[in-house]
Each structure stands twice: as structure tokens, then as C-alpha cells.
Amino acid sequence: FDAREGSIWYDGTMVPWKDAKIHVLSHGLHYGSSVFEGERAYGGRIFKSREHAERLLRSAELLDFKIPYTVDEIEAAKDLVLRTSGLTDAYLRPVAWRGSEMMGVAAQGNTIHLAIAAWEWPSYFDPETKMKGIRLDIADYRRPDPRTAPSSSKAAGLYMICTISKHRAENKGYADALMLDWEDNVAECTGANVFFVENGALHTPLADRFLNGITRQTVIELAKRRGIAVVERRILPAELEGFSECFITGSAAEVTPVSEIGPYRFVPATLTKTLMDDYTAEVQPKAVAA
């Protein structure tokens, strides 16, 4: 991934992709002082670019560092990266981290770096295949108590147990893993939020202990626009038995139907399809009325 063509925005300048490197003594690498975003452009426009830039700044503040750019500057940098790439449907990855001046747990004066890369990510998927749903394992690791870690930050360190959990799930033949929280409630997947359907209403875990995804918030808004009831609450794994449909949401996952979670089975149906279609329509740049 590091030897591609193209350019990466790095601390304010565009550098050749293969030269966008960090020093091995970077604090972000040793102590996990790194935050990032994952977002997408559709038809040449970055979906909810501002919300992602705001979340990036907030994620850093939760890790006690300040990214030296404003929301407007970050948005402009992302637009430049997208335009320079020549792509219309792309994935964008802003990442910010503490640099290498001091090596130790404390590194108050270290430079804060910001880089932004974009790569091709076609938005087309085959709805029929997607409607079959993906299979999820249930992870061993729990999402941490907000008193244990800054759980609303999109911090690199919080992904350590996600990668372990996703690898374990993949090795067992699953697409991903559902993670519970430290109190054994349903929480989220390793890179997406989760929704369930019961009697025509959406049920989703309260996002007070894991990332409240921008896609999650978008889907809740889309459901409400259609008059679909949305219940945000604690959900126990045993309740999965009573849900008819299940899907996950994320900038990368969009709305992805789920057919299986451990011993539980779901049949992706009308409500999931409706929200998949609504989300697809929502992310498209709106035509300006003549």
C-alpha cells in the first residue's frame, strides 16, 4: 500500500505517495497517540466532510492533543486531495499523530502531524448479492468502559482489539465480529455500528460507550424521515433471537445486511432494503435546482 502512484497531503503539502513516511520513533507509533477518519466521496463530493473533520479534531482532543488545523482547513485539504487524485468515488483517510521529538509516555511538546490520503473505492455494489447478508462471529474482547478508555474517540489504540477480533472471526470463516460492551450488552462491530428490526421498528444500542458513527446518525435520520420508530437502548445478546432483520452501518460498510450472528439468524428484508436504498440516494451529491 505504500508504493502507489499519486500524492498524499502531509503537514500542508502534497508529497509523492511513496515518500509520505514517518520516523520510527514517532510517539503515535509507540504509545498509540494517533487518531484517524474514514470517509467517502461519491460523485466527486465527500459525504459529510465537515462532520468527519469535526470528529477528527474531537478525537484528538480526547487524546489530549490539538491538531493545528481548523475544520475549514481540513475540509479544504481533503478537497485538494480528492481533486488531485482525479477520483470521484473514493475513500479518504485523514490521520493525525504525535511526532518524534520526545520519546516517553509524556510528550507534551511533540509536533502534531496530519496526513490525508485518498484511494479509489467504487460505490457500486450488487444489491442482490448484498441482500444475502454477511455472517458475524461474537468477539471475545469487549468494548471498554468509557472510564477505561476515551471510547468516543476514533483513536488508533481502540482498534487493537478490533483487529484481533476481526482476524479471529475471519479465521473461523466469518466476515466480521460483533463486539459486546464491558457489561455484556451488544455494542458494535469492529468498524461499524449495528441495527436490528423488531415489529417494524429499528433497535440499536445506545451510543454512549462506543463510536456514534456518522452513518449510524444518518440512518437514524433517514428512518425517522420515513416515520420508522428508532429505539436506542441497551440490547442483550439473548435478545437477538427475537429480531427479524439486522444490518451494520459505517462509512465503508454503508448499510450492509447481516444474515447470521453466532447462533442467531436474520433474513434481510424490506426495512433493510429501504434504508440501503435511502442511504445510497442520500450520499449522492444533490443536483442544484435550476
Tell me if 211 contacts ligand PMP by CB under 6 A: yes
Please tell me the distance from the alpha carbon of residue 250 to that of residue 196, in angstroms, as a whole number: 15
Cell numbers that stand for 243 in this block: 429480531
Site map (CB under 6 A) of ligand PMP, residues 63-102, x = contact: ----------------------------------------
Catalytic site includes residue 286: no
Closest separation in Å from C-beta 51 to ligand PMP: 8
By CB under 6 A, how many residues form the interface with ligand PMP? Answer: 13
CA proximity to 35, closest of 10, 59, 54? 59
Closest separation in Å from C-beta 92 to ligand PMP: 11
Residues from 191 through 210 that contact ligand PMP (CB under 6 A): 191-193
Stretch that binds ligand PMP, among 5-13, 59-67, 211-219, 237-245 (CB under 6 A): 211-219
Residues from 10 through 49 that contact ligand PMP (CB under 6 A): 38
Please tell me the distance from the alpha carbon of residue 201 to that of residue 95, in angstroms, as a whole number: 36
Under a CB-based contact definition with an 8 Å cutoff, are residues 139 and 181 in contact? no
Stretch that binds ligand PMP, among 14-22, 169-177, 212-220, 278-286 (CB under 6 A): 212-220
| Burial 179-214, CB ≥16 within 10 A → b, else e | bbbeeebbbbbbbbbbbbbeeeebbbbebebbbbbb
With a CB cutoff of 8 Å and minimum separation 6, the contacts of 211 are 151, 152, 154, 188, 193
**Which residues carry out catalysis?**
154
Residues that bind ligand PMP in the complex, under the rule CB under 6 A: 38, 188, 191-193, 211, 213-216, 249-251
